[in-house]
Each structure stands twice: as C-alpha cells, then as structure tokens.
Structure 1
C-alpha cells in the first residue's frame, strides 16, 4: 500500500504543479519518477516495485496503441509521404548521427550506430496523446504523423529482433490471416452492448489477444494491440469503444511516464549528452518538414507534422534496453527533456505556424497533394463546418429549403457522407491557407458544429477577419466557451444541452395539443 501511495502522491502533486504553469501533466509524471528514484534509498522501495510499474507501463502503451488503431484507416497509411518520409528520415538521421557520435564520444562504431538508431525515432506515445487531445488524429497532418510513427515502430521492432538475435516463431505467419477475423470481431462488438462488456471486449483485444498473443509468436505486443485496434477502425461504434477505454488508458500511461523517470538518476555526462541531443531537435523537425514538402504537402501540414515528430522516442529506450543497457539512463533523460520541449511546442503549433506562414509558404512546391486541393463553395447559401451528429442533423433539416455545402477534417467521415449524398469537402478549420482561398460572396450563413471549441473560435475569427458579414451560428456544451465563441465573431452560440431540453419540451407540448 505504501508503494501505491508514493506513486499516486508524487504523480498527482507534480502533475498538478506543471499543469498550473501551462505544461502537460505527463511532464510532471516524468519528474515524479526522478523524484521517487532520488528518495528511494531513504524510503526503501521494495525490489519488485520496478517490475510492477513496468507491467503497468506496458499495459498503458498497449491501450494507447489500441485506441490509436481504432482511429486508423490502413489504406490511408500506405501513402508515399508516409512510407517515403518515414524511411528516408530514418536513413538520413542514422547516416548523419552515427559518424558524429562515433567521433565525439569515443565509442565503438556499433555503439554509435545503435545510439543513432535509438535517437532517430519519434515518440508514438507523446505524439498520439497530443494529437488525440487536440482531436487531430484524423486530420491530414495527424494521419501523416501517425503513419510515419507506425513505420518507425516497425523499423524499431526489426532492429530489436536483429540485435537480440531472435526471430519470430513460424506461427507468426498466422497474423496475415487476422483480417479474416473482422466479421467475427464486428459481431462480438455488436453483442457487447454499451456497458462493461464493451470495456472488457476492448481490454481483451488490446491486452490479451493483441498484446500477449503477438508476444507468444515472437512479435511485438504493441504491434498486436495496434493491429487489432485497426481491425475495428471502420466499425460504427469504434469511437464509443475508444471513449470507454479512455480513463483506464490514461491511468496506466501515468505508469509509463513514471517508469521513464525511475530508470535512474543521471550523472553530469548524461546531462551533457541529453542537453546536446535536445538542442539538435529542431534539425529533426526541419528534416521532416522538407521531406514532406518534397512529397507535395503544403507548408502547414508539413510544419504541423514536423512539430508532432520533433522529439525522441520511448522505442529508443526499448532498443537501448536490449542492445545498449549502459546508455539507458542518458537516453531516458534525453527522451524526458525532449518531451519537456516538444509538449508545449505542440500546444502552440497552430499559433506558431500563423506567425511563420509567410516565410514557409514560399517553400511549397507548385504541385499540390491530392488530399490538399483548394475548395470551391459553388453557389451554396449555407456552409456547415463539422459533420458529426449535430452538423448532419442541421444539414438534413435545411437541405430542402437552401443550397448547402459542408466540410469536415475527418477524411473517412467525408467519404461516408458523400456516399449518403451529402455535399461535403475535406478541409481543416484551423488551416490559414484554407481561409485565404475561400470566396464567401454567395454564402449567407455559417453553422459551426465542430467538436472542438477552439476550432469554432478560430473559424469565427477567420470568417470575420476575411470579410464575411453573414450570420455565424454555433453551439457549445459550456457557457464560458459559448461566450468566447461569440467574442470571436459568432452572432449566436447555443448551449447544446439547453437546446436539447427545449426540444424535448416542444415535443411534449405538441403531443399534449393533439
């Protein structure tokens, strides 16, 4: 009980502290791990404590990758910018970093190469968590970032297998038959209902069948969790399953960040190594930026993707634990410091791009990526931004009376709505260039129905900034957010739950009059 009290106490205290200064709580969890290590001799932590925490951390990573898989469309990952960007960046990073480490650190060429490999990866945990928090996993730059991370994770698995001298079991070939299980998985998910059975179904796939099952045949449990999550990505209740796993996943991920901090206290040489590597982080992001520009991405998408990948990876620690255990503490510190730098940069990525866009836009190629073509509003009278349940309901209510056009930043949702006969296009409301290229002359009203309140504020502000004088109507769950959206330029922002109550009351009145 003492052990759990120490973990929870340190994690909560430092997580709350860093949150008050505008940093993500995960940085506090890293600091908590170092603090626990610093006082472990005095409080006498039991020897098995590290193993318990390691197990908790592993479960957290499995659940995170499973929920990432739930939001993935594999067809969108098999793209030149994803495979090419991931492989070329990895190759260039290793070719540049290995000789430099070999000459500067007076180490063997093999050690230098393995260190370069470990430092070439970007953090799947941090990037996925930040993108998920910002609801950008399905935005174009989010899909590119996650795709590249998957490519890197697969490279890491290959490196670990080769360095450890182990090969997958012949039974591993059975994984190629997993897509045949999709109909069965769909039926099981439908039969699980909406309560605890759905939660247990997700845990079963992520931790047992995906995680432990893949490990039994010599493959990575992380890969297994991701694969089984992706198998359910197109199910209509994938989002519901992801939300049901949210709290459990967040709790176990605290253990992951604590574990990094509890790897040991760094000495002076470790600090010097980590600080120098963190100073090189901008080069990592810049290389991603130019590679993605080469693959026809616009400057905004390349910039946001590069910022998401501008950090060092927990997979680097896994590689080090297998092939370079003596370098584990310096690498753990490097990863931790990269998180400290990368997390606030990701939070400020959109405002930062707006400040730099004039310098970055001239670097774009004249050829546009197929997913980022300019849009034409045609003769539409009303624009609906965000086509979830609220936006779709508004569209269906207005379609017989007005000429409508809608947009969403989720490509799979756009494709599904097109199949339903909806006039919709793919775009991101937080894209500076998107607003500059729109012609509003025939638009009389805009409905803001995106999930994210910040996106609504940006949309309302940009509409007014670029001269739109028509009606802007939005909705919000909370009064304080509603007021901010109105201040940004919306004519009216309705409280969602209040409007639902009014609608219910109206139905009652109508029935009583009949």
Structure 2
C-alpha cells in the first residue's frame, strides 16, 4: 500500500511541476512532504520509511556507479578540480562556522561540522541534471563531477572523524590492490555480454563489490560504487552498461527525493534557518564562479559549473541523522529549497549566460585554459559536430572524399579519435565564445551529430548567425524535432528510426533480388 501511494504521489506531483516547466525531481520532493502529511491519515505503516530508505540508497549507489563509468582518474588531478574543491570547502567552512558561532552561539565542534557539510554541493542533483542535459562528458560537466568526487572524499573523512569510525586496516590494502583488479572486472563485463546479464553484472559490481564491499572496510558504500564505475570507465561497453542501468536508476532515485521530503515538516524556527541558508546560496555560487575563473576557465564554463553546484548536499542529511538529529528538518528543507531554486536555473543556464555574457566576460583571465582555446578548422570542407557513434560513422564514410574535421565536447573522446588518426578537435558548440573564435572559411557542409536536440538547434542558429549559407545536415529521433531543426536553419533532416527502416528495406530488396539470380551469377 505504501509503495502504491508513494508512486502515485510522485507521478502526479512530478507531472504537475513538469507542466509549469520545472524538472520532475522538484515534484518528487513536494510529493515526499505530501506523503509525510498524509501518512497518518492514510494509515501508512511505521516501517514504510525504512523501505523508502533502502530504495533511496540503491538509487544513489546506481547513480554514482554510472557517474564513475563516465569519469577518468586524470580528471580529478586537474588544478581546477582538486584546487577548486579544496579552496571552496575551506573558505565556505570558515565563513559559515564563524557565522554560526557568532550569531547562533553554537559550540565550535558543531559549528565546524555544519560549516563543512554546508560547503558541499549535491552529487545526486548535479549528476541527475548533467545526465538529463547529456553534459557529463562536456568540459564543465566533467569539472563539476570532479569537484563533487573530491568533496565526497572529504565528506567521508569528516564523517569518520566525528563518528569515531575509522576505516578498517584492510582499507589501504584494498585501495592499493584495486587497480590490479581492473582486468578481472573488465573480463567479467565482457563475458556478461548484453541484455539482462550486463544489467546484473552492473548491479553486482555497484551494490555488491562497491556498496557492501567498501562499507565492510569502512570506506563508505557511495565511494565504493563510484570507484567501481571508475574502474570500468575505460571498458568498450561502459556506455552500454550505463544505458542499461538508466531505467532502474531513475526509478530508485524517485525514492531518494521522496525520502528528503518525508524527513519531516518544518516548524517556524526550522523555516527561518532554512531561509537563511537559502539566502547564502548566491554567495556559494559566486565563490565557485570566482575560483574557476582563477583557474583560467572561460566565463561560460565557470558560470554553468557554478549554477549546477549551487545546492546543498544530501550528505548534510546523513551527518544530521547520525550526529545532529536536531538539525535534520531544517537541513532537509534547505536542501529541498536549494533543489527547487537550482533546477530551473540550471535548465535556463545557457540563456541566462547569453544575457549576462557582456558583463561576465569582463572577469575572464587573459590566458584561458588549454582545453578551451579557439578553434581553426584549417582546410576542412566538411565539419561534423558531435563525434559519438553517429558522428564517427559519418566521419569515416566521408573522409575518403573530402577534407573533414570533427568537433566534440568530451576531451577524452577527442583524444581517442586523435589516437585513431582522425582530425578531431575539442570545443563546446553551445559556447558563444567558440563561434566567435571559429575560423571556417573553407567549410561547405556541416553535419550535426550530437545526441542533444537543443545542442543541434543552438549550433544551427549559431552557424546561420555566423553567416554560413551551406547545407546543415542533422538527424532527429522525433517528428516534433524536425520542425524545430528546420526553423533553426538545418536544411537536410533525417529521422533516425525512419532511415534505419528504409535501410533495412533496401537490404531486404537486394537480398531478394540476389536470391532470385541463377547460382552462377551470385557473387560470393
């Protein structure tokens, strides 16, 4: 009964907020509060929260596992990631702790603990929003995830310090031996094949080896799930595994957002504390933005990352439940409000930056990060934007006939293409600064092969605004996308499923004609 009521509330609240342009997760949070209020009236059992807690935990582990599948170790060692996370945590902790001691008269140990957890941002929210926009592989997306991973490591150390639960002596041994296990883990994923077994293999590694295994040695199940994904990130089937787990992860994460809402209704004092914390969010975002600019990132990259990181962390609830139960409700409310505010801002971040760009670009460093340099396409006749499977197939087909250059926002994917001998450059096509610095005088045709239809529309508009008059070719999954792409300036649009069907029919016709020929005429 509890499961049916919770899912019903989640569905209808999620549907309602989506109708007004907000992401469904905002509705799930509201549904949690509604279930909390209606629970006694509906006669829900007391153990219902325990069930939701379990489902929520599974969702978080699967999310972090899939995030790990898209990470690279070198990403964490970048200055803007490691330095940005440490400096932000240090500054935020100092300011918030001093404020709590001065204005709330808290003791220093409690103030420091709250200062630390309030300096963190939500891994679940950021990963969810980046995945929805398909921006985890983009430069700003990888920077965000890297910062969050460093924060998770700090969080683990803080929790161990305050709770007195030190990691097992075996923890260091396990961490040293983990890289040696990579071949075995890759072999396991290879022999799992496809279909149900790859899903089971992913869940076994995320929940078993990562969750239960790391919990047993005192390192935290969340970190374990992330590390397991990281070890598999270089496997050829990493993307397939991530896609296979998508549906399960989404369902389980509904439980996470419901659980936050069900943590309790706030009183007046709780509401005041939550509102004060929400008023501090702009300062948190401004600090992220400033630090990333200091590490020579473009204003757009720093802005998108800062918007995505301007939330409070679900880790604050874990700490409150274990060490500060009196702070659980106000922190849950502040976390929920930060999601409600950040979700639409993150969704509109590109448009917001377009309006603020003339002002924000004045803060850019003169020397920008090497991964964000303007692009010269040289002698390329054909430009392919998006070098995933579709873009790579188009590149390989056309490269023998025309000079071609590919562009992708994932630096690791770009490195793989360059190693394979393809002329592929790194750039974020949704960055207006990229188009201003782009030199494409010899380009006669552009192929839009990105996954995200919004990115295609943005690129088509930017090409036309730049004065490009040649053909722009794109593919679309849905009928309504076709009109939007044409309006943006695309000239040739192919519906992917329709073209696949036509291709299959053409193959069938050739096979039938071939089968009807005399045996002596059939080519072998």
- TM-score, scaled relative to structure 1: 0.98
Distance in 2, matches of 1:101 and 1:418, equals 52
RMSD: 1.2
Distance in 1, matches of 2:222 and 2:508, equals 51
2:180 alignment partner in structure 1: 180
Please, which moves more after superposition, 386-395 or 104-113?
Answer: 104-113
Query: For the structure 1 residues 52 and 401, does the alpha-carbon distance in structure 2 shift closer, same or farther, using more than 3 Å as the test?
Result: same
Deviation string 1:379-422 (CA, Å, 9 cap, x unpaired) is 11110111122211211121121111111111121111111111
Residue 440 (structure 1) shift: 2.4
Mapping 1:467-506, distance limit 5 Å: 467-506=467-506
1:149 alignment partner in structure 2: 148
Mapping 1:230-379, distance limit 5 Å: 230-379=230-379
Residue 216 (structure 1) shift: 0.7
1:162 alignment partner in structure 2: 161
Q: Tell me, which stretches of 5 or more residues in structure 1 are unaligned?
A: none
8 A Cα contact 1:160 1:322, kept in partner: no
Distance in 1, matches of 2:310 and 2:127, equals 13
Deviation string 1:318-374 (CA, Å, 9 cap, x unpaired) is 122222111011000000000000011010011111111111111111111111111
1:392 alignment partner in structure 2: 392
Distance in 1, matches of 2:79 and 2:413, equals 22
2:432 alignment partner in structure 1: 432
Residue 495 (structure 1) shift: 1.1
Please, which moves more after superposition, 35-44 or 327-336?
Answer: 35-44
Distance in 1, matches of 2:367 and 2:439, equals 22
Deviation string 1:196-251 (CA, Å, 9 cap, x unpaired) is 11111001001111001111111100000000001110111111111111111111
Deviation string 1:42-70 (CA, Å, 9 cap, x unpaired) is 23332221211111111111010000001
1:32 alignment partner in structure 2: 31
Mapping 1:35-74, distance limit 5 Å: 35-74=34-73
8 A Cα contact 1:471 1:491, kept in partner: yes
2:91 alignment partner in structure 1: 92
Distance in 2, matches of 1:163 and 1:265, equals 27
Distance in 2, matches of 1:338 and 1:435, equals 33
1:137 alignment partner in structure 2: 136
Distance in 2, matches of 1:510 and 1:392, equals 26
- TM-score, scaled relative to structure 2: 0.96
8 A Cα contact 1:382 1:443, kept in partner: yes
8 A Cα contact 1:57 1:252, kept in partner: yes
1:29 match: secondary structure: helix
Query: For the structure 1 residues 162 and 470, does the alpha-carbon distance in structure 2 shift closer, same or farther, using more than 3 Å as the test?
Result: same
Distance in 1, matches of 2:96 and 2:322, equals 20
Deviation string 1:429-483 (CA, Å, 9 cap, x unpaired) is 1111001111221111101111111111000000001111111111111121011
Residue 489 (structure 1) shift: 0.5
2:517 alignment partner in structure 1: none
8 A Cα contact 1:77 1:143, kept in partner: no
8 A Cα contact 1:199 1:241, kept in partner: yes
2:473 match: secondary structure: strand
Q: Tell me, which stretches of 5 or more residues in structure 2 are unaligned?
A: 515-521
2:498 match: secondary structure: helix
1:446 match: secondary structure: strand
Distance in 2, matches of 1:455 and 1:362, equals 25
1:274 match: secondary structure: helix
1:265 match: secondary structure: coil
Residue 180 (structure 1) shift: 0.7
1:469 match: secondary structure: coil
8 A Cα contact 2:14 2:28, kept in partner: yes
Residue 509 (structure 1) shift: 4.1
2:407 alignment partner in structure 1: 407
